[in-house]
């Protein structure tokens, strides 16, 4: 029982990180219509940036801020440099997807070359290993931080999307780009903001998963895929849906660990998903289902 | 190998990133059967049949789904396959892989010698290319093009679109199985890392650069990309960074080609 509870707790932590990835991916996908696989690259990049700056002696919170800003900047670069020209040329979604896959390959391998293809640890943070005891359960400081920061960021994105003028503008562009263009909402500017916000926020799970476990240049694609599954199961276009399903998936993946060895757990998620998508392609919370074009 | 992906991407307009996984299945199947002492044609047939079956079955759900969902299932299959290769130790040997895969012996010649292997693989490539050309010129091939251009219209004209797509999946599986078996023979050693998602991306790059939807494209792409490691060896790079550098160049090529020449060197519009 104790083991199960501990696994659920770990699952919640993992799920919060996944949730933020799923939400930001969903936000970019719904608004721009690009299947932004490069999101996985930015996720990794955020972690490595934070690692580098903490390594050279910058205080951790500042390093996190730099990593978030840096990731957002790379997001802008990708949107301006690659996606925007492709969109303006009306290239097919397939071409955009292939370009995005190319970007992931570039980012991941660049990181592997600059830093190291091997696993890196945040050794300079002494509080990394200490943990809080809740009865018989353990939650480490990195885990606690992951939950808090992810929740705050997710809530922030929700509020931004529904309450601010820019957030509403983004939703207008998402729902109908041509109308938005006529209404002078300048979709291309909106895309830049959206990709930048998504990229900045996705750096957060990248950093905290890295602090909690370790940094690896190539592990993020599997994570992103799980997040995308959460987005679909939660209903494309529903940000809270994406977060909630990711949370559930995180817990499930950890519970499965009690029964089968580690590497099967992710494969099992995908297998279940493929069956699921056949049965109910509209997701659990059906809000709006259309292929963003 | 790029031929197989070309079949899926270019001809029918669906896209797959799990080709390396499929090739892996072919390689493992060949290795398993050949190690059991079966003769070469039996092992090859086993690999090809298994891949064709598997590709058909796994595309079954995907064909019902819209483009982006197919991509996800395809990524998912790739990850599942890697997990199976690594974890199903009894059959695949786990992460250590399978070593000492026997080379085929036919008509008293062992194909272990490189010069004979070249003959074998060239023969296979020539046969595969010939079959591809014939297939595309046949009435079947023309219907396939029709399906890609307009699925609804093809359906309205009385063609069974689903059956067509399944047929393509099977053929593509056959090519992947063939490639996998040849790979297993050539390396005589296979392990999961040869069939990971990075490898799928390499195959995709070959196809994209060569050009989708043409035979010439499928042949030019691999030749060019295989030359890149040779060029890189002129520059001085630490050996452990060689893999990442190569993958970096491939990724950059993908982006560059999508930006300036999405149809590749010898391809038609995708």
Per-residue pLDDT tens digits for A238-266: 888 888 888 888 888 888 777 776 667 76
Phi and psi at residue A267, in whole multiples of 5°?
-60, -40
Question: Tens digits of per-residue pLDDT, B8-19?
Answer: 443 333 446 667
C-alpha distance from B73 to closest chain A C-alpha (Å): 6
On whether the pTM is more than 0.80, the answer is no
What CATH number should be reported for the domain holding residue A17? 1.10.3470.10
Q: Which of B140, B173, B195 lies at the terminal end of a domain, its last residue?
A: B195
Supply the range of the domain harboring residue B253: 196-270
Residue identified by tokens 């990850």 is: B79
Q: Of the candidates A95, A99, A228, which has its C-beta nearest B270's C-beta? A: A95
For the ranges A62-76, A180-194, A269-283, B189-203, the lowest mean pLDDT is seen at A269-283
**Same domain, yes or no, for B8 and B128?**
yes
Convert the pLDDT of each residue in A170-204 to its tens digit. 777 777 777 777 777 777 888 888 888 888 888 88
Please judge whether B244 and A113 are an interchain contact, meaning their C-beta atoms are less than 8 angstroms apart.
yes
Domain end call among B195, B222, B241: B195
Same domain, yes or no, for B118 and B176? yes
**Assigned domain for A218 exists:** yes
Please report whether residue A289 resides in a domain: no
A290 vs A56: CA distance, rounded Å:
47
B185 and B136 in a single domain? The answer is: yes
**Considering CB atoms only, which of A101, A264, A274 is closest to B73?**
A274
- Does residue B30 carry a pLDDT above 50? yes
Choosing among B11, B71, B244, which should be mutated to test the A contact, i.e. which has the most A CBs within 10 A?
A: B244
Residue B55 to residues A20, B89, B132, Cα–Cα distance (Å):
34, 23, 18
Indicate whether B19 and B124 sit together in one domain: yes
**Could you give the CA distance from residue B144 to residue B223 in angstroms, rounded to a whole number?**
27
Please indicate, yes or no, whether residues B204 and B186 belong to a single structural domain of this protein.
Answer: no
Mean pLDDT of chain B: 68
Whether residues B120 and B219 share a domain: the answer is no
Domain count of chain A? 1
Residues B228 and B160 occupy one common structural domain:
no
Distance CA B215, CA B133 (A): 7
Q: Which residues of B fall within a CB distance of 8 Å from A263?
A: 83, 86-87
> What's residue A69's pLDDT?
92
Both structure tokens of A71: 């990731």
The shortest C-alpha distance from B48 to chain A (Å) reads 24
Please tell me what DSSP assigns to residue A120. Answer: B
Has residue A59 been placed in a domain? yes
Q: Would residue A267 count as lying in a domain?
A: yes
> Hey, what are A105's tokens?
């390959």
- Here the ipTM equals 0.71
CA A196 to the chain's CA centroid: 13
Q: Cβ of B83 and A267 within 8 Å?
A: yes
Burial letters A76-109, b for 16+ CB under 10 A, else e: bebbeebbbebbeeebebbbbbbbbbbbbbbbbb
Residue of A nearest to B77 (CA): A270
Distance CA A179, CA A2 (A): 55
By CB neighbour count within 10 A (0-12 exposed, 13-18 middle, 19+ buried), where does B45 fall? middle
**Of B64, B87, B244, which has the smallest distance from its Cβ to A109's Cβ?**
B244
Q: A270 contacts in B (CB within 8 Å)? A: 76-77, 79-80
Q: What is the maximal distance between C-alpha atoms in chain B?
A: 60
Is there a contact between B250 and A86 if contact means CB atoms under 8 Å apart? Answer: no
What pLDDT does residue B96 have? Answer: 63
Residue B160: per-residue pLDDT:
67
């Amino acid at each position: 029982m104790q083991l199960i509870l501990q696994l659920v707790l770990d699952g919640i932590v993992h799920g919060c990180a996944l949730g933020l990835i799923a939400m930001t991916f969903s936000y970019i996908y719904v608004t721009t219509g690009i299947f932004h696989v490069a999101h996985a690259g930015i996720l990794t990049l955020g972690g490595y940036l934070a690692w580098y700056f903490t390594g050279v002696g910058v205080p951790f919170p500042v390093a996190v801020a730099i990593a978030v800003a840096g990731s957002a900047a790379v997001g802008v670069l990708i949107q301006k440099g690659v996606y925007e020209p492709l969109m303006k040329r009306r290239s097919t979604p397939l071409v955009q997807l292939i370009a995005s896959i190319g970007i992931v390959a570039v980012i991941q391998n660049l990181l592997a070359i600059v830093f190291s293809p091997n696993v890196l640890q945040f050794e300079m943070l002494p509080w990394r290993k200490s943990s809080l005891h809740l009865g018989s359960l353990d939650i480490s400081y990195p885990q606690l931080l992951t939950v808090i920061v992810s929740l705050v960021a997710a809530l922030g994105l929700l509020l931004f999307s529904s309450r601010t003028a820019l957030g509403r503008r983004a939703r207008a562009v998402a729902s109908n780009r041509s109308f938005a263009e006529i209404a002078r909402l300048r979709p291309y500017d909106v895309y830049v903001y959206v990709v930048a916000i998504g990229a900045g926020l996705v750096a957060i799970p990248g950093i905290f998963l890295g602090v909690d476990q370790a940094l690896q240049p190539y592990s993020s694609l599997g994570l992103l895929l799980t997040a995308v599954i959460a987005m679909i199961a939660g209903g494309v276009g529903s940000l809270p849906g994406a977060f909630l399903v990711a949370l559930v998936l995180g817990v499930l993946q950890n519970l499965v660990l009690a029964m089968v060895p580690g590497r099967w757990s992710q494969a099992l998620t995908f297998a279940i998903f493929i069956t699921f998508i056949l049965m109910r392609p509209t997701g659990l919370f059906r809000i709006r289902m259309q292929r963003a074009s | 190998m790029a031929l197989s992906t070309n079949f899926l991407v270019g001809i029918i307009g669906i896209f797959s990133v799990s080709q390396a996984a499929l090739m892996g299945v072919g390689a493992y199947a060949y290795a398993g059967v050949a190690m059991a002492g079966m003769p070469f044609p039996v092992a090859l047939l086993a690999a090809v049949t298994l891949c064709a079956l598997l590709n058909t079955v796994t595309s079954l759900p995907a064909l019902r789904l819209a483009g982006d969902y197919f991509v996800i299932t395809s990524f998912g299959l790739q990850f599942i396959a890697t997990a199976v290769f690594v974890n199903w130790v009894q059959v695949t040997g786990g992460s250590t892989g399978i070593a000492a895969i026997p080379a085929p012996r036919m008509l008293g010649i062992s194909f272990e010698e490189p010069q004979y292997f070249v003959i074998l693989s060239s023969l296979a490539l020539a046969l595969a290319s010939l079959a591809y050309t014939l297939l595309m010129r046949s009435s079947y091939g023309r219907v396939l093009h029709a399906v890609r251009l307009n699925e609804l219209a093809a359906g309205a004209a009385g063609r069974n679109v689903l059956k067509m797509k399944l047929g393509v999946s099977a053929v593509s599986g056959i090519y992947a199985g063939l490639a996998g078996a040849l790979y297993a023979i050539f390396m005589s050693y296979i392990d999961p890392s040869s069939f990971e998602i990075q490898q799928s991306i390499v195959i995709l790059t070959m196809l994209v650069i060569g050009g989708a939807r043409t035979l010439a494209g499928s042949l030019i792409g691999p030749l060019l990309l295989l030359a890149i490691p040779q060029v890189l060896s002129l520059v001085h790079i630490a050996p452990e960074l060689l893999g990442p550098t190569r993958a970096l160049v491939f990724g950059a090529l993908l982006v560059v080609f999508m930006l300036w020449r999405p149809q590749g060197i010898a391809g038609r519009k995708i």
